Amino acid sequence: MIKKPEMVLIDVDGTLVDSVPDLAFCVDEMMLRLGLQPHGEEPVRNWVGNGVERLVRRALVGQLNGEPDEQLFEQAYPIFLELYADNICKRTQLYPGVSEGMEYLQSRGYKLGCVTNKAEKFTLPILKQLNIYDAFEIVVSGDTLDVKKPDPGPLLYAAEKLQVAPNDSLMLGDSQSDVKAARAAGFQIICMSYGYNHGEDIRQYAPDQVIDTMIELTAIL
């Protein structure tokens, strides 16, 4: 049973937006420029969620774990960053139900914040282009602090800035990083069933509730 919070913090990739089409395009273009075989969208969908540096490393080794040759990474990473800067929000879209869910949360007067591991230079253009930036009182990006999720620091930072106690706070995310950060911060946690959890069912990480669309929040909060 979810206790009604004062504040809701929301993740970006895999929760609000499906950014994989842009990320996969950039990964494949990077691979081609390096003379390597592109991966296609499906593997990339399982590799996102820990920032673009980690994504590039995973793409170079072709799997979730492992480390590429450092010289190859140092060649590849600037190529990816250049590509992504030009393709931040060309194919990225809000998930169905996000607009309605956001409108509901705003109408009920919840304090809203955005907490993501994505760097600010990539986060803000997406939020602005998809017309949800103004809904948030605070945006904590992956480079706002020295730590990122699953560390609880970004959640506690947002709670402090918005002057809300952790036990009056809720995290809405899609990954084990969101669950771990919320638990460590003392937040409640609701997860989306459709997100990027490296191909695993988010239910195995025991969030307080799992929903299929943000429209379901109207019956919960």
Instruction: State the catalytic residue, choosing from 11, 13, 22, 178.
Output: 11
The reply to whether 11 belongs to the active site is: yes
Query: What are the φ/ψ torsions at residue 220 (nearest 5 degrees)?
Result: -105, -40
Q: Are strands 111-115 and 188-192 parallel, antiparallel or unpaired?
A: unpaired
Residue 19 CA to residue 181 CA, distance in Å, equals 22
Residue 53 CA to residue 109 CA, distance in Å, equals 36
Give catalytic residues, as residue numbers. 11
